[in-house]
Structure 1
Amino acid sequence: MSSEDKSGRSREALLAAVRGLVLAVTVLPFGIVFLVLIPLSLAFIPLGVGLVTTPAVLTGVRALADVRRRLAGEWCGLRVRAAYRPIPRGTNPWTRTFTMLGDPQTWRDVRWLPVDVTAGFVTALLPAVLLFFPVEGLMLPFGLWRPYTHGGTYWYAFVPVTGEVSAIGAAVLALVLLGVARRYTPALLTVHFRLTRAVLGPADGELAERVRVLTETRRDAVDTSAAELRRIERDLHDGAQARLVAMGMDLGTIELLVERDPAQAKRLLAQARQNSAEALEELRDLVRGIHPPVLAERGLGDAVRALALRLPLPAEVTVELPGRADAPVESAAYFAVSEVLTNAAKHSGADRVWVDVHHAEGRLRITVTDNGRGGAAVGAGSGLAGVERRLGTFDGVLAVSSPVGGPTLVTMEIPCALS
């Protein structure tokens, strides 16, 4: 093995140990807090207080589980699926509470908490113990054991350390353990996330749950499409159609006046020309709202760049797409990005936006980040709920990280292949 390979393996082992230690330190406090809050909140439902606290607590549990799912993918390449039931917009606390309580994924999250604070804590801590325990052994020949024994025996694993010779023997054992740790520490961290996936991921009913979620998102898509068709019809009726009717009437009048009053006919012609130009512009805006020409001609990357150019604040766009997705997927992604950018420009108070578009592991991934005040959430009236439904039509997902004070990070993923 080359020195570079050895160095890379050592870095991986150290990184896995540090990550495991971070997980172990955070697992217990968060897990125990939620294990206490959940039964208390459920107990207060009959008093009405629980109708407010239960959705908040379950949303916190969901956020904690989502973080663990994301870390599983980023740190170990493990995909932990989630299939939450969508919560209707503008629901009252009663409906919201019992919609969440009736969601099987919610109860998977709740069952995961006690597993996480027990077996999860141990499996997270093991990589750090395996890597850092040999450090103690390597320090023994330097007299580390003397202050703790007062002349007695210091045990390092199964080696009794009573003098310099036995301390060197313990250091040899530590070197062996260090070699084992360097090789197996990343695998131990993967064990932790495999346990997470086994508890959090949908089990036998995964297919049925996925079908149910997709059915609901398809229904939302049909309702959205019907509303969009009504909007297009209304825009045509009130806009371009009205102007074309007025232009036809002007042309009829011109026909009567062209011989008797040429000056008036000329003025009406100018007005008809103006009406035709305005009708054409409205039709172009309408077509752009249905399927932007730049999207059809240049693809998603250039279409997103065009969106960024129209923003009233500076935007930096990074695109890494080796091909093009299907037209419906590109359209959904384009309008989702448009909605998120509009929200950032109108409500975030940001002075800069970053957009990243790339494709990896069979998924189109788009992130939009702004340095605004934060506080964005997927809920009634935010616009992000509509984005979530639009992406759900294609089995896509939306994740929002927006702490108060910012920044806001919106991540959108759609499974798709590129041509």
Structure 2
Amino acid sequence: MTSARPTFTALARSAALAGLALLGLAAGLVMLAAVLLTFLVGLVPVFPSAVRLARAVTRLQRGLTARWSGIPVDEPYRPAPPPPVPQSDGWYRDGRTLYKRPTIPAFNQRWNWMTKDPATWRDLAYLLAAPLTNGLVVAAPLLATAYGVAWAAGGTPVMGAVWILLAVIGVRWYAPWAVRLHGQVAAVLLGPTEKARLARRVSRLDAARTEAVDSQAAELRRIERDLHDGAQARLVAIGMTIGAAEQLLENDPQAARALLGKAREASATALQEIRRLVRGIHPPVLAERGLGDAVRALALDSPLRTHVTVDLPERATAPLESAAYFAVSELLANAARHGDATEAWVDVSTQGPALRVTVTDDGHGGADPEQGTGLRGIERRLGAFDGVLAVNSPVGGPTTAVIELPRAFGVRPAPMTPWRYFGRLCWGLWPIALFPQGLVAMVLKLVGSPVKSWFLGLYVPGPFQWPVIVGMMLLGGGLLAVALATTVRTREAEGGACG
């Protein structure tokens, strides 16, 4: 029973995805009708609602794909436009027209945002085509079972039993494969294009750069203030003390000796402050021994009982190590200062080529990145490296913060050789003709046309026509998805090798 559970799970997911494909078809037809009404009749207000419906369905599709097939699919949409801002006179400008209220400018901005985003039209194409590609792929075992039941009900129990038996035997390996193939196709058709991904990354890096520059300026001001109020003041006092000792050296050597002793103590204190300041800029242990030992040293200085686990194959680059180190330092300080924690656990490891640091404490929780300036500072520091901070801090605790810095270790695989890429592409493209063979044959059979032409599925014996037609569509559509996935992976590998 345990061994059969994954099969039944995959079969249930296949049925759910097939139903979702039909729901997507309905949403696609609604959006297509809205497009026709908008551009032919002029009913412009119906278009945004139809787009929101389509995006809701495709967003559900992406979520289920990531959860069931393990293939993450990022949203490809461009960032939404900001709300209109009034001019100094209170009017809102949209092109060459002024409006007293922001309603029309806001609608025009969202209209341009939806219509000029290629992802809008890719969603429409996907929703209309999904039942003929992904829907048939994931529903094939169910269709084979229904086909067998139809034959049995039609007075041919042997043929019906054969098809039902084939469906039961094949579902064990086919259903998990179909779910994974569905995920690959959805990732290609519903994911962002390279242009959209690059534009989003540029926008994110631009914002991170601005925040990093502001943070660096604030850090420089803090260093200047600490030097001015701390070490610099002590050094000035040392100079004045030594000057006073020089004046007393001949008349009162004992007092001069006492002043020199105070100067020596003050110099030691100033040196400690300078070392503390340098350690706050870049700890020596981090430069000399790496992130693991630096975090262990940080744990020794922390007021919390801190348990550190480190599993790193090699050292990351110095800027990444510095960002991770100060993020851990800030998280431990927050746990002690705001969370009333007594114990913490720090795990430093890798997740593929990414550096992952998990910090957990037993405090009372309630940490919110939107309200805590310390957490926002960590996000700004990590954002300069495309890093992310995820915080789970329910009220009552515990608090878990996960830091992930991509591309910290190793390099991505080298791009596929041209001959290997050509071979895989040909392997995926040669049976594409089978898809129209099956699709047109299905239409001819449904309308009862006597024309067979060159459609091979109509020349086989009657009991096998539908299985051959559906099989052609599945094979052609599936291998087309393989060709598309190969192209996308090759481009990503080339981009990673160049970067």
TM range (shorter): 0.5 to 0.7
Structure 2 distance, partners of 1:291, 1:73, is 40
Residue 344 (structure 1) shift? 2.3
Residue 276 of structure 2 corresponds to residue 282 of structure 1: no
> Hey, what does 2:230 align to over in structure 1?
239
> Hey, what does 1:359 align to over in structure 2?
350
Residue 111 (structure 1) shift? 11
1:116 and 1:196 in contact (8 A); partners too: no
Q: Which moved more, 1:179-188 or 1:15-24?
A: 15-24
| Selected match of 2:257 from 263, 266, 269 | 266
Change (3 A) 1:259 1:85: farther
> Hey, what does 1:219 align to over in structure 2?
210
Structure 2: where are the runs of 5+ without partners? Answer: 20-54, 81-105, 411-499
Percent identity over the alignment? Answer: 46
Q: Deviations over 1:320-370 (max 9, x none)?
A: 211111111111111112222222222234444332222233221222233
> Hey, what does 2:332 align to over in structure 1?
341
- The amino acid that maps onto 1:278 is T
Structure 2 distance, partners of 1:332, 1:157, is 63
Residue 172 of structure 2 corresponds to residue 208 of structure 1: no
Residue 286 (structure 1) shift? 0.3
> Hey, what does 2:381 align to over in structure 1?
390
2:71 and 2:183 in contact (8 A); partners too: no
1:332 and 1:390 in contact (8 A); partners too: yes
Change (3 A) 1:66 1:85: farther
> Hey, what does 2:66 align to over in structure 1?
72
- The amino acid that maps onto 2:350 is H
User: May I ask how many residue pairs the two structures share in their alignment?
Assistant: 347
> Hey, what does 2:177 align to over in structure 1?
187
2:316 and 2:409 in contact (8 A); partners too: yes
TM-score normalised to the size of structure 2? 0.55
Q: Deviations over 1:376-406 (max 9, x none)?
A: 2221434211111111111222222333444
Structure 1: where are the runs of 5+ without partners? Answer: 1-6, 26-60, 87-97, 138-153
1:155 and 1:161 in contact (8 A); partners too: no
Q: Which moved more, 1:208-217 or 1:193-202?
A: 193-202
Alignment of 1:306-321 (within 5 A): 306-321=297-312
> Hey, what does 2:152 align to over in structure 1?
160
Change (3 A) 1:117 1:67: closer
Change (3 A) 1:69 1:112: farther
1:73 and 1:80 in contact (8 A); partners too: no
Secondary structure in structure 1 of the residue aligned to 2:279 = helix
Residue 213 (structure 1) shift? 1.5
Structure 2 distance, partners of 1:325, 1:68, is 33
1:299 and 1:324 in contact (8 A); partners too: yes
Structure 1 distance, partners of 2:139, 2:321, is 47
> Hey, what does 1:177 align to over in structure 2?
167
Residue 72 (structure 1) shift? 2.7
Structure 2 distance, partners of 1:320, 1:389, is 26
Residue 84 (structure 1) shift? 9.1
Q: Deviations over 1:6-34 (max 9, x none)?
A: x99x7765665677799999xxxxxxxxx
TM-score normalised to the size of structure 1? 0.64
> Hey, what does 1:374 align to over in structure 2?
365
- The amino acid that maps onto 1:160 is A
Change (3 A) 1:218 1:301: same
Residue 161 (structure 1) shift? 7.1
Q: Deviations over 1:196-244 (max 9, x none)?
A: 6744646643322211221111111111111111111111111111111
Question: C-alpha root-mean-square deviation of aligned residues, in Å?
Answer: 4.9
Residue 297 of structure 2 corresponds to residue 303 of structure 1: no
Secondary structure in structure 1 of the residue aligned to 2:307 = strand
Secondary structure in structure 1 of the residue aligned to 2:250 = helix
Q: Which structure: larger Rg? A: 2
Residue 277 (structure 1) shift? 1.1
Residue 309 (structure 1) shift? 2.8
- The amino acid that maps onto 1:76 is G
> Hey, what does 1:38 align to over in structure 2?
none
Change (3 A) 1:283 1:201: same
Structure 2 distance, partners of 1:114, 1:372, is 48
Residue 119 (structure 1) shift? 10
Residue 315 (structure 1) shift? 2.8
> Hey, what does 1:45 align to over in structure 2?
none
Structure 1 distance, partners of 2:244, 2:287, is 41
